[in-house]
Amino acid sequence: MSRIAIGIDMGGTWIKSGIVDGDGAVYGARRTRTPQSGAEDVLAAIRSEVEALESVVRPQDRLVGVGVATPGMVDDRGYLNGAAVNIAGWEELDIAAGLRRRLSFPFVVLNDANAAALGELEFGAAKPRPGENQLDEERSVALINVGTGIGCGIVLGGRPHAGHRGIAGELGHLVVRPHGRLCRCGNRGCIEAYASATGIVESARELASEYAESRSEVARRVASENQGQADPALDPEILFRLAGEGDPLAERVRSEACWALAAGVAALGTTVGPPTVVFTGGVMGSAATIMPTIRDFLRELVLPHVHRSVALACASLGSDAGLLGSGAAGLRLGA
């Protein structure tokens, strides 16, 4: 019989679930609204998803476990420290204890960024190439999600790394420019303040006055925006496209964002030492424009051996990474 697991990927709007096999194939995929009526209803929804998927397991398959990926700082015991954004009542919660009362299968709870990293390691961009003889202890990866904010998932020796009280992976709030721009976390100079989608646009707005006399399309758009006039919106994709066309303000914004991301990779490379750092998220739609610049800045920030040893890659699983990673975690329960 083939071993399979149920993967559940929780988000603020949807709970995605499916049955995952050892090759990363998914069947029975489902999507249901995430309850916003408290933790008990969210736990009940997870149980309903497991029951629905259990009913469609094929006769030739053996269900060995359930993996549940959740936002927030969840530790190795399945306890959520603090609050998860966008899920009402999902805070300071022993998720594992709640699921233990509801599920009859072995299960594991992990952070959603760690699940995405595990998905890319097992089935995606960080999977060893055919012929590579990578030892289990070397099967590590860091995944940086560059979107509205910046998150990070870490897998070390094939195991998701939560850190003490689930605090590992808060890379977006690593300070790289002391006394720099105020970040939404309350600190100044965080990576997120310069390299997230929000931070990139804020950089353009903050620096626009210095380029008012230049031939910068970005500066013109900011001025128009300040005057309350209708104009095409600023977003990272537009900014990076204009940077490629030689817009001086856009080039500076791109450079600052790439330097901040390279500083994050440098921190990971010189402490955790993953063989691959995978980038994902909405901002990475402009990967062809920014990845070479990140690599160039990284050379300036780390020892030559570190620069040679850490590969940069773009995620290949898209929005399915969390589902596949939670399924991969569930499969390990039957190993």
Q: How many helices (H) and strands (E) does the chain have?
A: 11, 13
Which pair of structure tokens corresponds to residue 1? 């019989």
Question: What's the pLDDT tens digit per position in 159-203?
Answer: 999 999 999 999 999 999 999 999 999 999 999 999 999 999 999
Q: What is the mean pLDDT of residues 293-299?
A: 97
pLDDT of residue 139: 87
Token pair 């013109």: residue: 220
Q: What is the C-alpha to C-alpha distance for residues 267 and 168, in angstroms, rounded to an integer? A: 13
* Of 155, 150, 156, 153, the residue nearest 173 (C-alpha): 150
Q: Do residues 234 and 225 touch, judged by C-beta distance below 8 A?
A: yes
Domains of the chain: 2-112+318-332 (3.30.420.40), 165-314 (3.30.420.40)
Provide the β-strand partners of residue 159: 156
272: enclosing H helix or E strand: none
Percent of the chain with pLDDT over 70: 96
Q: How many residues does the chain have?
A: 335
Structure tokens belonging to residue 76: 């190795």
User: What secondary structure does DSSP assign to 191-209, as a single string?
Assistant: HHHHHSHHHHHHHHHHHGG
With tokens 């961009």, the residue in question is 125
Tell me the average pLDDT across 261-274. Answer: 96
Q: How far apart are CA 104 and CA 291, in angstroms?
A: 45
- Evaluate the CA torsion angle 157, 321, 170, 162 in order and state its sign: negative
Whole-number Å distance between alpha carbons of 13 and 71? 12
Confidence of residue 234 (pLDDT cuts 50, 70, 90): confident
pTM: 0.94
Q: What is the DSSP letter of 164?
A: G
Torsions phi, psi for 14 (to 5 deg): -125, 150
E strand or H helix that includes residue 214:
none
189 Cβ neighbours under 8 A, 6+ residues apart: 175, 176, 177, 178, 179, 180, 181, 183
In the block, tokens 């977006």 appear at 172
Task: Give residue 231's pLDDT.
Answer: 65
What's the pLDDT tens digit per position in 30-87?
999 999 999 999 999 999 999 999 999 999 999 999 999 999 999 999 999 999 878 9
Dump strand ranges (E) for 193-314: 276-280, 311-314
